[in-house]
Amino acid sequence: MKQFDVFVILYQLPKGRTPVSKEKYDIFISYRRRGGEDEARKLKLSLEEIGYRVFMDREELLLGDFNAQMYQCIEECRDFLLICSAHALDRCRNDNDDWMLKEVTHAIQKKKNVIPVWLNGFDDAQMEDLPPELNCLRQLQTVNLSNTTYGENVQKLSRYLQAKPVKRYLGNTLTGSGVFVAVVAGILLIAAVLYLIC
């Protein structure tokens, strides 16, 4: 085996996170950019630190059918977090083309684990007079994401999630096939070093 051949094999090994299932994401976060984006992003980072794979930004989608990709992301996830910032649900009452309405309705139809996450400024009164397809939101388990007890609330939320966090090793997912890839990479690296020495 030539030196160049060894380099090609090592270069072609999967890099970064190793898939542990056919799903790309565990959790879908639906939010309003006005009033909810900062908290949604903070929550996304907190959940990723635990080991969950989280989707929240439409910018992550590829070119093509936007609607189909968005619905596919929801269908991939086991959990759907609805960030309820102040008046976040107002547009759901009178705009059938509202994206938050479409997202949460699709999640309910696909029987995802929908969890309303209440931010400061949201209350029971804002759950009144919702479209029929959203009436079930009032019966769901909610989590209040207060800044004063933020860490405790994230831990509480994680107990309600159906998805399980993936194990992490040195910042990368490493379970099952990930271990195999790491072992093979190690063997090839040793072989390359020995080849260069000899």
Whether 103 is a known active-site residue: answer: yes
**Catalytic annotation, pick one of 23, 48, 59, 103:** 103
d(CA 147, CA 152): 10
The two tokens of residue 81 are: 């977090």
Q: Are 109 and 101 in contact (CB under 8 A)?
A: no
Query: How do strand 168-169 and strand 172-173 relate by DSSP bridges?
Result: antiparallel
- Is residue 122 within a helix (H) or strand (E), and if so which, with residue range? none
Question: CB 108: neighbour CB atoms within 10 A?
Answer: 17
Write down the residue that tokens 């790309």 correspond to: 24
d(CA 109, CA 41): 25
Annotated active-site positions, please? 103
